[in-house]
Amino acid sequence: LPDGEPVGIRTTSVLVENVEQVLRQYAAEVEAEMATIVEDEVADTWMRQAIGYHLGWLDADFRPLNEEVGRSGGKKLRPALAILSYRAAALGPHGRAWLADDLSRVLPFAAALELLHNYTLIHDDIQDDDRTRRGRPTLWTICGTAQAINVGNCLHAISLHCLERLANRGFDAADVARLSAALAHASVELAIGQRRDLAFENEQDVGPGVYLEMVAGKTAGLLRCASYGGALLATDGSRPGAAKSLTAFGEFGMHLGLAFQIRDDVLGIWGAEEDTGKPSGSDIRRRKKSLPIIFALQAASEEAFEQLSALYSLGGELTTSEEACVRRILGSCAAAALAQSQAEEQRERALSALGWAAGNGETLRTNPFLANLAELADFVTHRSS
């Protein structure tokens, strides 16, 4: 980003209730868009039902779940990031202001992000051998890994179909093509990030730098795409400064994504299963090089370091007593606080990029969606679920 003073975006308090309301409100609209695209594009009944199971619409016998939106279907963070960036950019200095309240136009993109995200979750649970997600058995435990891979592939392909709908909602072909390219790029980076994440399980020298590069691929790239893409749809690219603003929206999403994944690493060890919906400690048992472990390997006493590196060079899953030993070492060198402070740093960087995205003279007072985006950065950094 260019040198000089950005317009500062600073939040004074963590307005978690507020942003959670925003997430819930958008989630319902995004789910409705997702449901129609699944209905339109997937002719096979079993495939539709398996998708419905994973998305929290159906139970394991493929009967309707009728739960409150979001309970078994995830937080819908990526759609919210896209919608808020779209609305914030519409009201910004390069924006098409009339779009700010017309959510129907951005919903296909929001749904595409969520469908693509869910494909990655289905495959990730196979790769990580995790049996629980969103408080329910993972899809592969219901239908086997081979069929779950097919369901994931199907969701990935449907997400591309979603973008075709943008042409019918008033966007020109050039913008849709740029968005498709951005989404495809994020998907390639994501696969590479996942490859590196798995490879790190068997590598000894994983430092914070390569960890952040890996997370930029596996998680933050899609959040960058969400923020950039949402803003792109609402921006008049011919206005001076528009390109710089779009880059800054992307940077905002990237740093928010890094904060989000670091917080996920912290919750993976110290979070409560009833909040996260995921098994606590599975990252440790799998010997994942999550950020608290990487920091502990740097900050532990010599003796603890030897113990930790010996445990992390073993093959297979760690036992319960080995997990307890890792937890003691993490506690002894304040690894949670070290990782959390890195999440806070990424949040700061996100807020600074948001200042640039807003353009000079834009304030939180006149653009409520910028305030919501700043709150979203707080939420991902401090969340418990």
Q: Which member of 189, 264, 322, 375 binds ligand IPE (CB under 6 A)? A: 264
How many angstroms from the chain centroid is the CA of residue 127? Answer: 18
Q: Which member of 15, 22, 55, 77 binds ligand IPE (CB under 6 A)? A: 77
Q: Tell me the C-alpha distance between 369 and 156, whole Å.
A: 29
152 is an interface residue for ligand IPE by CB under 6 A: no
- Record the tokens describing residue 227, joined without a space: 């923020």
Q: Tell me the C-alpha distance between 72 and 69, whole Å.
A: 7
Q: Which long-range contacts (CB under 8 A, 24 or more apart) does 296-301 make?
A: 296/329, 296/330, 296/333, 296/335, 298/207, 298/208, 299/333, 299/334, 299/335, 299/338, 300/329, 300/332, 300/333, 301/332, 301/333
In the complex, which residue's CB is closest to ligand IPE? 74
Question: Taking contact as CB under 5 A, which single stretch among the options 102-110, 117-125, 143-151, 220-228 is the one that binds Mg ion?
Answer: 117-125
List C-alpha distances in Å: 342 to 18, 43, 270. Answer: 24, 46, 16
Least CB distance from residue 268 to Mg ion, whole Å?
A: 8
374 is an interface residue for ligand IPE by CB under 6 A: no
Site for ligand IPE in 92-121 (CB under 6 A): 120-121
- Is the CB of 199 or the CB of 324 nearer to Mg ion? 199
- Record the tokens describing residue 176, joined without a space: 């849709």
Three-class SS of residue 136? strand
- Is the CB of 261 or the CB of 346 nearer to ligand IPE? 261
* Dmax (CA) of the chain: 63
Applying CB under 5 A, the site for Mg ion has a residue count of: 2
375 is an interface residue for Mg ion by CB under 5 A: no
Q: Which of ligand IPE, Mg ion, none binds 342 (CB below 5-8 Å, type-dependent)?
A: none
Least CB distance from residue 116 to ligand IPE, whole Å?
A: 10
Q: Tell me the C-alpha distance between 128 and 283, whole Å.
A: 9
- Is the CB of 124 or the CB of 375 nearer to Mg ion? 124
List C-alpha distances in Å: 346 to 42, 183, 224, 252, 270. Answer: 39, 23, 13, 9, 20
Q: Tell me the C-alpha distance between 259 and 281, whole Å.
A: 20
Binding letters toward Mg ion, positions 119-158, x by CB under 5 A: -----x---x------------------------------
For residue 294, which amino acid is it?
I
Binding letters toward ligand IPE, positions 270-309, x by CB under 6 A: --------x-------------------------------
283 is an interface residue for Mg ion by CB under 5 A: no
What are the DSSP calls for 40-81, one per residue?
A: HH---HHHHHHHHHHTTSB-TTS-B--PPTTTTT---HHHHH
219 is an interface residue for ligand IPE by CB under 6 A: yes
Least CB distance from residue 127 to ligand IPE, whole Å?
A: 8
Closest CA to 376 of 80, 48, 110: 80
189 is an interface residue for ligand IPE by CB under 6 A: no
Q: Which member of 261, 342, 372, 381 binds ligand IPE (CB under 6 A)? A: 261
Cβ(275)–Cβ(263) below 8 Å:
no
136 is an interface residue for ligand IPE by CB under 6 A: no
- Is the CB of 124 or the CB of 362 nearer to Mg ion? 124
- Is the CB of 197 or the CB of 251 nearer to Mg ion? 197
Least CB distance from residue 88 to ligand IPE, whole Å?
A: 20
194 is an interface residue for ligand IPE by CB under 6 A: yes
Q: Which member of 83, 162, 190, 258 binds ligand IPE (CB under 6 A)? A: 190
- Is the CB of 48 or the CB of 133 nearer to Mg ion? 133
Q: What are phi and psi of 207, to 5 degrees?
A: -100, 175
Applying CB under 6 A, the residues found at the interface with ligand IPE are 74-75, 77, 120-121, 124, 128, 130, 134, 190, 194, 218-219, 261, 264, 268, 278
Applying CB under 5 A, the residues found at the interface with Mg ion are 124, 128
